[in-house]
Amino acid sequence: MSVPAYLLVPHSRQRAGRPAPAILAQHGHGPGKAEVCGLAGGDGGGPANEYAHELAERGYVVLAPDLRTFGERTDWNPPNIYSCDHAYMYTSLLGHELLALDLWDLARGLDLLAEHPLVDPKRLGMVGLSQGGTCTLFLAAWDRRVRAAVVSGYMNRWERCAAVGWNMCGSQVLSGMGRAFDHVDLGALVAPRALLVETGTGDNIFPVDAARTATEQLGRVYAGLGRPDRLEHDVFEGGHRWHGEVAYPFLERWLGRGG
């Protein structure tokens, strides 16, 4: 299966011709890669969620792929059928996990970036909002090539976010994960690599108080590894959306300038 994606290469980077940092920018629920590239608005999206475009403007080579059931990988469904849950049911019937399949695709996206002549393979980052934050946290925990990650609108505790009505979907879960581990455990696998968590005070999907608790717990892991400076929590006034004000300088600090 091929994965449709936009590869954003800044003109300044093409002229410079030197390897530079690159970012895997993952969309959340909505129209897919088009939203983060500034080509379409998603649910509650708009300019605030165009972080792939913003990163390219800052000189980074950016890859923005479609997850399964989104963008160009969307199949028609009746209006009463939710595509994430429908796809999860069929992947389960075949003995697979939808989230694991998406993560495998995204790891191949890192392969593509690492092999690009304008990319320094030792300076790869990943960012994402909501479901994109899910993928960012899971992939950074699994694939150590992600040197800096921004998890927006996701870092939390199962006992809080999974209790929010209609919150969880088939594209964001693994069988039995609620008993096996929590968000802080995934974050501990990222440590001591650079990790920024973004949380809106008005996020009604991933509550801010639970995000604070999880990030504070994770902070003890980073402190124990002697790198408390590599974990930050940007709590901003707003809802379930991308913020970016701390994220962009954070990525520049840990990956270097894009342009």
Q: Is the predicted pLDDT of residue 45 greater than 50, yes or no?
A: no
Q: Is the predicted pLDDT of residue 46 greater than 60, yes or no?
A: no
Query: How many Å apart are CA 50 and CA 199, to the nearest integer?
Result: 17
Query: How many Å apart are CA 164 and CA 162, to the nearest integer?
Result: 5
> Residue 29: what pLDDT?
94
pTM comes to: 0.95
All residues at 6 or more sequence positions from 104 whose CB lies less than 8 Å from its CB, including other chains: none
List of domains in the chain? 5-255 (3.40.50.1820)
Query: How many Å apart are CA 106 and CA 140, to the nearest integer?
Result: 11
Which tens digit of pLDDT belongs to each residue from 190-228?
A: 999 999 999 999 999 999 999 999 999 999 999 999 999
Q: How confident is the model at residue 40 (pLDDT cuts 50, 70, 90)?
A: confident
Half-sphere exposure of 171 (CA within 13 A, CB side): 22
More confident residue, 173 or 1: 173
Percentage helix, strand, coil for the chain under 3-state DSSP, each rounded to 5: 45, 20, 40
Cα-atom radius of gyration of the chain, to the nearest Å?
Answer: 17
